Structure 1
Amino acid sequence: EWNDEWQKAFDTVKAYLVQPPVLVPPSPDRPLILYLTVRRQFIGCTLGQKDDSSHAERAIYYLSKKFNEGESNYPEIEKMCCALVWVIQRLRQYTLYHTICLLLKTDHLKYLLGSPSSMRNIAKWRCQLTKYDIKYVSRTSVKGQVIADHLAEFSIDDDTPIDSNFPDEEIIQLSDDEETPVAIDLKVKELEVFGDSMLTIFQTLKQWKTKYPKLVPYHEYLEELVKNFEKVSFTYKLRMKDQFADALATLASMVSITKENLIEPLEFKITQGPTHCDVIEAVNGKPWYADIKHLLQTDQFPHFTDRHDRRTLRYIAAHFFLSGETLYHRSFDGTLLRCVDGNEAQSLMEEVHEANCKPHMNGLMLAKKLMRLGYFWSTMETDCVKHVKHCHLCQVYANQIKAPPNELYPMAAPWPFSMWGMDVINPINPKASNGYLFILVAIDYFTKWIEAITIASVIAKAMARFLKRDIIARYGVPATLITDNAKNMNKLIDELCAQFRIQRHNSSPYRPQMNGAVEAVNKNIKKIIEKMMRMARAFNKKVRPREFSPCDLVLRKVLQVAPNSRGKFAYKYDGPFIVKEAFDGRAIILSDMDGNENALPVNVDALKKYYP
């Protein structure tokens, strides 16, 4: 039946329909508001202005366009620049005489058009926009939206305002209700916590300082909760790799719960009964061929076998031959191989593998050698491979592992000239025109722009002058500076980085390629992307993951920095060493067998596991 509530809603709809939006001319004394939406193939914009009488926004002009084939291949940031230039030029009858307030999703466009760039399109568009008075407005300073597409671009899930200055506000929430966490209710003793907020995880682990006062109550409350557990670990995990949390969120979004439905909690009971935690193989003192020999001697099966075991034992015994008390195995070519037990097999492997000539063959070749000598046991190949794996000389003389231990991951360079790599080229011959021997090179990781000068000697004063004059004065203060572990990077460089608040990172001593600079940059962006994808796929196929934990025994790759008198007979690995501490960045702190800790970390690709 039709009621008053339905009638009221119907009247509201009619009131909206009889008042359609009407385009109005602009007022010369007030700024214009430009709403710009950029999609993959289309752009749309609305030019509006606030009305003084009603403080409402009135539409002045609508525009839309489809990108052509060349423009559709632009990166996202270049599409935004191209769309802005096209809209400003099409509406020049308004934009030339008014201040334009441009609503932006991020500040990348503002900084990209406001700083020098080596990209041809960006430089051209920046010159075209200099004649207009454009004011960039971030989304936090706009209270209302008038375009449906723009509302979809910046929509949120609820009506609760979020403080943009407070980091990760949507991740942690303190409630006034005195509720007990689920893990405490279930009496969990050991808890592993994975989070995609780097700020929250590293401040909880005391690796970062909590400088923001609003975060202090959260960490105090978290410390109170940690006291309820015996062991708690916090691990940072990238959001793209947290598939388990994504699956839970997807399942939760598919469940519709109303107030009328009552969901009863699940109750778990913790029992103190015995459980199976490990499997230990019992040794009865008999050789592996005892049942086969018993069957061939007495023609009787053991009493504990069933029908299936008897059929299997009869099939296996057909390949063996008993001569007196000696059991032989009949090979495929008819040769009789004497069966040996575990103790004799161990002595045979040691004698053949480390004989007078010390051939030190691999596991499969060792097994074939023992068979040619007339010996056999059931786990021959497995035992030989395991024996070779634990041989000390085979480990220190083994070929160096050149396969990468982990897959490639992208380096985050969010905007041009934010991350620079700096290195020194060795003395050049012949000398430069000014008589200098060294070349100091700095490369931007985003645009691959190169800055280089020649210097007489590699000193910290010259490097600091180059960083201040050729980098900071030209392109602004960078966010990150990556250098190697050279001695010339001393306290003077650290003070300069601290003065301009530049984050400085060093590469590991055993991984100098980490600071390698790109010598040339392709002009075609499409070819660069295709090459990077092809290299990443080929690189990831060769990955052999190597994980190390504290107290593991490892061997360290010997770097041939000076000629060795032993030549090709020199050790390829040094050690063994003990893993003292393993970091998330694939760096390892080692100590020798006497407990003396090494001062410098070692990258994981210079290590391999040692088997005593």
Structure 2
Amino acid sequence: MVEGESSKSEEDKQRLIINPKYPEQRIRVNPSLSQETLSYLEKLLTYYSDVFAWCPEDMTGIPRSIAEHELRIPPDVKPVVQKKRSLAPERSLATCQEGCSDKKDFKWIEEAEKAFNHMKQHLASLPEIAAPETGELISVYLSVAEEAISAVLTIERDKVQVPVYFFSKTLELAEIKYHPLEKLALALVQMARRLRRKAIKAQVLADFIVEVPKQTITEVNTAVTEPSDLKAWKLFTDGASSVEGLGAGLILINPEGLEFTYALHFDFQATNNEAEYEALIAGLRLAKEMKVQKLEVFIDSLRVSSQVNDSYIAKEPNMKKYKEKSKELMNTFQTCTIKQIPRFQNKKAGALSKLASLTFAHLTKKVLVEVLKAPSIDEMEVQDVITEEDPNWMTPIKKFLRNGELPGDQTEAERVKIKARQYVLQGEILYKKGYLAPFLRCLGPEQSQYLVKEIHEGICGAHFRARSVVAKLMNLGYFWPSMHRDTTEQLRKCDACQIHAPVPKNPKHDLVPITSA
């Protein structure tokens, strides 16, 4: 038992000092021990004195969670400034005396003097912020962390970089989940907003796009650029058919080597060749949705690859339909080739297809899993009831979002730039963005008239007013700028609403009372 320093008493005789460096730390022993035993015990403890922990530095290996204690305060609770408390006269005097006694015990040692002088030198040598002059080159340094971004502007004077402006921001909510490149772009935009001249902003953003490697900005660049040396993507597909079920595995690899895994589970009966075709069609659709232009397909089925390449003839009706469907999807790519490979070169896709055919519940956490209810050749091609004719209100916005094309009129061009921020183009379909709502599909005049008519007087149509019809249209996911005005004008022409509308029976003019004598 190790105890601290105590007053000199009779009990000190039964306490041993086994470490001369810490004479105040003694070990209490049983006073009934003989002198011989006590002497032997003292020698033994002195010999093994390094086993004991004499100071906190000797207590190594203790977890920080045990040695450190802190209050469990929720992170979203803000600190509260407490009001100043007034003490009683006697307590105030005691507090003052205690503070004074603490100050008397303070000693200014040589290490403190050195630290103080070092701090003064550091404060005196802080870089001064300079104002840039016309023609000086401004450098921008960006830094991103997991929960913060920062940027600094500098200019070079006398071969020394002098700071001009510094900016930092703590990321909040969805900003924390941004990609590192998106965080860099956010830091650059926040810095550019603080620059006064518009020309400098445009130049800084242009330099950023030029200096960042092309493969990292393909997603943020809105202009369509098709490099001539575009590398091909690789697609590995395999289908599996068993008594327990059917499945397919897809592995799509981009030119940089990044793999995208995908699994299919079929809820219908099919042969092994049909499962191979289903895997091929699903892979082609996946590559089409990812805007792949050049594709190389690798499949281990000799029959399927030979039929698609016209080396074999498809005789069965289902095989003919599957072949036509596959070639139709292949024609949507700039180049698409199918090669037959041995099974040992397609092990990943084969294993994935077998797992998906048996059970796929455990796969949903690692790969994308889709369940097909019916064969691909039985799908009905759905076309628009009304085909929209160009040009309409969406045409200039689509041209700007697709390839940056603007109208010739300067005023109209600025208006299109401002309005295009509210829309997004996916394929050939334009969508309206929303703050708390999903994307709304934009419609032209022909389609909008058809939808208003269907909702107002179609099947189960209750001939609602314009406000209710517009609300139903937006709930269904449709939008066009003049939907309130167009709906009101169209409903005024409804014959049923005019026939069954309430007829006012009030007189046209105010009645004049007539009295007779």
Larger radius of gyration: 2
Shorter-chain TM-score range: under 0.3
The two structures have a TM-score, normalised by structure 2, of 0.26
Task: Specify which structure has the higher proportion of helix.
Answer: 2
The two structures have a TM-score, normalised by structure 1, of 0.23
